[in-house]
Amino acid sequence: MKLRSLVGGMTVGALLFAAAPQNCFASLTASQRAADFNELATTFERNYGPLRLKAQTIGLNWEKNKANFLARVNSAKNDTEFYQILAQFLASLHDAHVSSTVPSTYSSKLGFLCDYIEGKVVIDQINPLRLPTSLFPFKKGDQLISIDGVPVEQLMAQLSLTDNTGNEITTKRIAAARLTSRSEAVGFAVPEGVSTVTVLPKGAAIPITITATWIVSGTPVTNLDDLSKLLESAPIVNSIQASSGGDSLSDSIQKLPLYNIGMPKDKMADWKQAGITDVGNAKSMFDLPAGATTIDTVSMTAAIYQAGGKKIGILRVPSYEGDDLMSDIATAIQQLQDQTDVLVLDQTNNPGGSVALVSQLVSIFADKSYKDMNFALRPSMEWANQIDQINQQITTALSTDPKDVGANALQARFAYLAKAIRTGMEQQQFLISPVSLDLQNGYGMIQPQSTVRYTKPVLLLINELDFSGGDAFPAIMQDNGRATTFGQNTNGAGGNVAEYGPLTNSYFKFALTQSLMVRPNGAYVENKGVSADIPYQITEDDFENGYHAYTLAFTQAALKLVGVDSTIPQLQAEQDAIAAKAAADAKNKSATAVISNAIGLNLSKFIGN
């Protein structure tokens, strides 16, 4: 059914959750749907770390919420609606880690992307091949007012029922991106046909309404011949992954879900498709200040610039995963330590990653023993079995080399963790006492790096698109007094993540938070995040002009850390002077090149004669 034919007289709810094409395979029975929903709910009841905390943070009544969604499952008209209900059930937990994966490849896009800035939905990017200026006379920064006559605020509220991160600003930014890009794989209805789009150009008094066509790709879940084919190469990952070559003990530990404090891969892939590409990007979102010298030997943004008579370093931390992350950071830090007075550490838009890598990065900045992040775990047979597998590998390693120092240390740590979990199960504890999950390193304490360290003041840039490990790092740095945070509150995705499924009948997969992060100061991270010591809200001017005012503001804040008080106008004048000198130098260089070329030509003619 085309979206265009639905617009007249339909509610926004019907518009967003319209019926899909008829099934080409046998539909799930009502009892199968109910069974899968109960399987899903039971998995959360047994494994979801923040379950009881949600009553405090978002007012969740689990039993009432479960009963309401089961009633909706029992009333579902088709499988498509059933999948949407499952996704909304998980979104009702307001947890960025919790994700839904529907067995579908179906999606649609309008050809432009949006963001949420200063309370407005504004156009971010436009595909000029799909929407040339003659058909779409808008530009970045113009305000999107409505789609098919429905105000964007109303549409975003409905979209947030299917993806709610627990942070209001984060959720609105993601919903703004989804206004023009929908995927059935994460539980959204996929629009088709032609929509009217109303936009208020910047500086205009009257909005303009045009039409745009949803470009559809993939196959709806109800048209797939064999749902299992989508998942046959994707193993259940809430266990240690096997390796044909045989993993080392260290590799096996790194694969444990207890080490994972990063966003689920399926959710990251969906965000990228929706145009949320800053998250995990190796390059900073802002333009470098005038005169900045880049460090080109590393993969992420790294640079040095002058302001207020000081040298300021910039280093991007895009995530806490990847084999080359720490080596690249170490390379940059060696130069930044020698050549700067203060460091701006850009950890915005960070999806997290590994418990171990977070702790390793902190060690580069530590000037003494620091308290690490701890985790309150749900005691369960799943945890016990995973740790038993590791203990078996440790025993094997020690049988080969009884003097293996690493294996001996790990044996004691995993034995303690195994005992704490089994005791928790015996005593029917909901959560065990917080423990460190960085079992291979400091185990609760972070020691200063012995080879590479940055010892000078640090200004840490954070925002609402920092998740999980992106919450953990600033929390550790802030609680240990090592960094001043600047920007917006981090998301508040507080725990380790594991993926589950597929469910028995529907092939629905999902991810959940198994534990609760406990900060060094004793506070939970879930639904709270880390606050900015120096708040800064991104403006429309930032969004449209390379975040220039943002760079001036963090430059001012960084200088204060080294005793320099500069005003924004002073910094702007200094930047203008540097830019003007650079332009003049470039002009002179160009003129010199022209003269040199002319002399060379004349000389060649002379020699030729």
Read off the pLDDT of residues 308-318 as tens digits, 9 standing for 90 and up. 999 999 999 99
Cα torsion through 556, 557, 559, 562, rounded to 10: 160
> Per DSSP, what are the bridge partners of residue 147?
150, 197
Q: Which range among 184-188, 292-296, 598-602 shows the weakest confidence by mean pLDDT? A: 598-602
Going by C-alpha positions, the residue among 83, 324, 72 that lies closest to residue 187 is 83
Say how far residue 533 (Cα) sits from the centre of its chain: 21
Segment 452-461 shows an average pLDDT of 98
pLDDT for position 86: 98
Q: How many CB atoms lie within 10 A of CB 552?
A: 21
pLDDT for position 443: 75
DSSP-based three-state secondary structure for 371: strand
In this prediction, residue 588 has a pLDDT band, given cuts at 50, 70 and 90, of confident
DSSP-based three-state secondary structure for 144: strand
pLDDT for position 236: 43
pLDDT at 390 over 50: yes
Q: What separation in angstroms does the CA of 496 have from each of 46, 89, 436, 566?
A: 15, 20, 12, 42
Q: What is the mean pLDDT of the chain?
A: 89
Structure token digits, residue 426: 């015996």
pTM over 0.95: no
pLDDT at 24 over 60: no
pLDDT at 23 over 90: no
Segment 167-175 shows an average pLDDT of 97
Q: What separation in angstroms does the CA of 335 have from each of 66, 156, 267, 328, 524?
A: 55, 45, 36, 11, 36
Bigger pLDDT: 4 vs 271: 271
Cα maximum dimension of the chain: 101
Going by C-alpha positions, the residue among 302, 366, 348, 599 that lies closest to residue 489 is 348
In this prediction, residue 199 has a pLDDT band, given cuts at 50, 70 and 90, of very high
pLDDT at 101 over 50: yes
Angle at 149 between CA 210 and CA 84, to 5 degrees: 110
pLDDT at 603 over 70: no
pLDDT at 234 over 60: no
309, 574 contact by CB (below 8 A):
no
Judged on CB neighbours under 10 Å (0-12, 13-18, 19+), 486 is buried
Here the contacts of 480-483 (C-beta below 8 Å, separation 24 or greater) are 480/362, 480/366, 480/370, 480/371, 480/520, 482/362, 482/365, 482/366, 482/367, 482/370, 482/458, 483/345, 483/365, 483/458, 483/459
pLDDT, tens digit, for every residue of 135-150?
Answer: 999 999 999 999 999 9
Q: Which range among 147-156, 212-221, 243-252, 316-325 shows the weakest confidence by mean pLDDT? A: 243-252
pLDDT for position 589: 75
Segment 216-226 shows an average pLDDT of 79
185, 266 contact by CB (below 8 A):
yes
Segment 377-391 shows an average pLDDT of 87
Structure token digits, residue 310: 């000081």
pLDDT for position 7: 33
Residues in Cβ contact with 559 at an 8 Å cutoff, skipping those fewer than 6 apart? 307, 308, 310, 312, 342, 565, 566
pLDDT for position 416: 87
pLDDT at 235 over 50: no
| Cα separation, 44 vs 51, whole angstroms | 8
Residue with tokens 């039993």: 63
Say how far residue 479 (Cα) sits from the centre of its chain: 22
pLDDT for position 9: 36
Going by C-alpha positions, the residue among 113, 97, 93, 24 that lies closest to residue 53 is 93
pLDDT for position 396: 87
Residue type, 190: V
Bigger pLDDT: 437 vs 484: 484
In this prediction, residue 241 has a pLDDT band, given cuts at 50, 70 and 90, of very low
pLDDT for position 516: 97
In this prediction, residue 554 has a pLDDT band, given cuts at 50, 70 and 90, of very high
In this prediction, residue 407 has a pLDDT band, given cuts at 50, 70 and 90, of confident
pLDDT for position 6: 30
Judged on CB neighbours under 10 Å (0-12, 13-18, 19+), 604 is exposed
Residue type, 592: T
Q: What separation in angstroms does the CA of 561 have from each of 3, 46, 536, 556, 575?
A: 55, 47, 17, 9, 20
Pairing of β 484-487 and β 534-535: parallel
Segment 24-53 shows an average pLDDT of 92
Q: What percent of the chain has pLDDT over 70?
A: 87
Q: What separation in angstroms does the CA of 289 have from each of 86, 312, 380, 534?
A: 47, 10, 51, 20
Residues in Cβ contact with 93 at an 8 Å cutoff, skipping those fewer than 6 apart? 44, 48, 50, 54, 58, 60, 164, 166
| Cα separation, 137 vs 197, whole angstroms | 12
Residue ranges with strand state E in 162-213? 181-183, 194-200, 208-213
Q: What separation in angstroms does the CA of 519 have from each of 215, 376, 472, 474?
A: 45, 11, 8, 10
Segment 408-418 shows an average pLDDT of 85
pLDDT at 246 over 60: no
Both ends of the chain: CA-CA distance in Å?
Answer: 80
| Cα separation, 486 vs 291, whole angstroms | 23
| Cα separation, 394 vs 411, whole angstroms | 6
pLDDT at 408 over 80: yes
Please tell me what DSSP assigns to residue 513: E
pLDDT for position 237: 40
pLDDT for position 385: 86
Q: Which range among 71-85, 118-132, 214-228, 309-323 shows the weakest confidence by mean pLDDT? A: 214-228
559, 565 contact by CB (below 8 A):
yes
Q: Which range among 285-289, 390-394, 483-487 shows the weakest confidence by mean pLDDT? A: 390-394
Locate all alpha helices (DSSP H) within 321-445, ordered by sequence: 325-339, 355-365, 381-400, 405-426
pLDDT, tens digit, for every residue of 325-382?
Answer: 999 999 999 999 999 999 999 999 999 999 999 999 999 999 999 999 999 999 988 8
pLDDT for position 27: 87
> Per DSSP, what are the bridge partners of residue 260?
354
Bigger pLDDT: 385 vs 7: 385
pLDDT at 415 over 90: no
pLDDT at 597 over 70: no
In this prediction, residue 16 has a pLDDT band, given cuts at 50, 70 and 90, of very low
pLDDT at 444 over 90: no
Preceding peptide of 132 cis, ω within 30°: no
